[in-house]
Amino acid sequence: MIDPVTLAVLKGRLEQLADEMDATLFRSAFNPIIAEAHDASHGLYHRDTGATLVQGKSGLPVFVGVMAFAVKAVIDKARRDGDLGDGDVYIFNDPYDGGTHLSDFKLVRPYFRDGGLFCYLASVGHWHDVGGNVPGNYNPAATESYQEGMHIPPVKLCVKGTLRQDIVDILQANSRQPGSLYGDLNGQLNALDLGVRRLDALLDAYGAAVIEEAFAELTARAAQLMRANIAELPDGTFSCDDFLDNDGIIDRPLKIALDLRKTGDRLTLDFSRSAPGCAGPVNIARSTAIAACYVTLKHVFQDVPANAGVLEPIDIVIPDGSILAATAPKPVGGYTETILRIGDVIFGALAKAAPERSNGPAYGTINALSLAGHRHDGRRWVMFSFFGGGHGGHPEGDGLNHGNAPISTATIPPIEILEAAYPVMFTQWALRPDSGGPGEHRGGLGAIYEIELLEENAEVFLFGERGRFPPRGVAGGGDAALNRFLFEQDDGFHEPPMASKIVGVTIKCGQHVRIESPGGGGYGAAERRDPAAVAADLRLGYITAEAAARDYPAAADALRRRAAE
User: Quick check: 65 pLDDT over 80?
Assistant: no
H or E segment to which residue 459 belongs: strand 457-463
Q: What's the Cα-to-Cα distance from 246 to each of 106, 238, 254, 338, 499, rounded to whole Å?
A: 29, 26, 6, 11, 9
**Are residues 14 and 162 both part of a single domain?**
yes
Q: Which of 432-446, 511-525, 545-559 is predicted with the least confidence, judged by mean pLDDT?
A: 545-559
For residues 298-310, average pLDDT: 87
- What is the reported pLDDT for 305? 82
**Pick from 151, 42, 62: which is nearest to 339 by CA?**
62
CA dihedral (278, 279, 282, 283) positive or negative: positive
pLDDT value at position 563?
Answer: 67
3-state helix, strand, coil in the chain (%, to 5): 35, 25, 40
Distance, in Å, from the CA atom of 498 to the CA atom of 532, rounded to the nearest integer, reads 40
Q: Residue 35: what pLDDT?
A: 92
Domain termination residue (choose one: 176, 200, 223): 223
Across 196-209, average pLDDT: 97
Q: Is residue 284 part of a domain?
A: no
CB-side neighbour CA atoms (13 Å) of 473? 24
Whether the Cβ atoms of residue 41 and residue 99 lie closer than 8 Å to each other? no
How many folded domains does the chain comprise?
2
Tell me how far apart the alpha carbons of residues 202 and 196 are, in angstroms, rounded to a whole number: 10
CA torsion 157-150-67-389 (nearest 10°) is 140
Per DSSP, the three-state class of 287 is helix
Whether residue 397 contacts residue 549, with contact meaning beta carbons closer than 8 Å, is answered with no
Mean pLDDT, residues 427-433 taken together: 98
* pLDDT attached to residue 413: 85
Average pLDDT over residues 27-39: 91
* Domain presence at residue 269: no
**Looking at 143-157, 202-216, 515-529, 550-564, which range is the least confident one?**
550-564
Residues 372 and 267: their CA atoms lie apart, in Å, by 45
Last residue of a domain, one of 223, 252, 267: 223
564: pLDDT confidence band, cut at 50, 70 and 90? low
Q: Tell me the CA end-to-end span of the chain in Å, nearest whole number.
A: 71
Does a structural domain hold residue 471?
yes
61-81 helix and 286-300 helix, angle to the nearest 10 degrees: 140
Is pLDDT above 80 for 565?
no
Mean pLDDT over 399-420 rounds to: 87
Residue 470, pLDDT > 80, answer: yes
pLDDT at 373 over 90: yes
HSE (side-chain half, CA atoms, 13 Å) at 100: 29
Q: Among the ranges 271-275, 355-359, 407-411, which has the highest mean pLDDT value?
A: 271-275
Please choose, from the candidates 462, 464, 498, the residue with its C-alpha nearest in 3D space to the C-alpha of residue 253.
498
Taking every pair of C-alpha atoms in the chain, what is the biggest distance, in angstroms?
Answer: 84
pLDDT of residue 302: 85
What SS3 state is found at 47?
Answer: coil
Q: What is the mean pLDDT of the chain?
A: 94
Q: Is residue 549 part of a domain?
A: no
Q: Per the domain annotation, does 335 fall within a domain? A: no
Among 246-255, 402-411, 460-469, 533-542, the minimum mean pLDDT is found in: 402-411
Q: Could you give the CA distance from residue 256 to residue 250 in angstroms, rounded to a whole number?
A: 17
CB atoms inside a 10 Å sphere around CB 385: 24
pLDDT reading at 410 higher than 90: no
Range of the domain at 369: 359-529
pLDDT at 335: 94
101: pLDDT strictly greater than 80: yes
| pTM, to two decimals | 0.94
Answer whether residue 351 is part of any domain: no
Asked whether residue 277 is assigned to any structural domain, the reply reads no
Domain boundary residue among 163, 188, 223? 223
Query: Residue range 200-215: average pLDDT?
Result: 96
564 assigned to some structural domain: no
Distance set, CA 52 to CA 19, 68, 215 (Å): 15, 6, 10
HEC per residue, 8-31: HHHHHHHHHHHHHHHHHHHHHCCC
Provide, rounded to the nearest whole percent, the portion of the chain with pLDDT above 90: 88
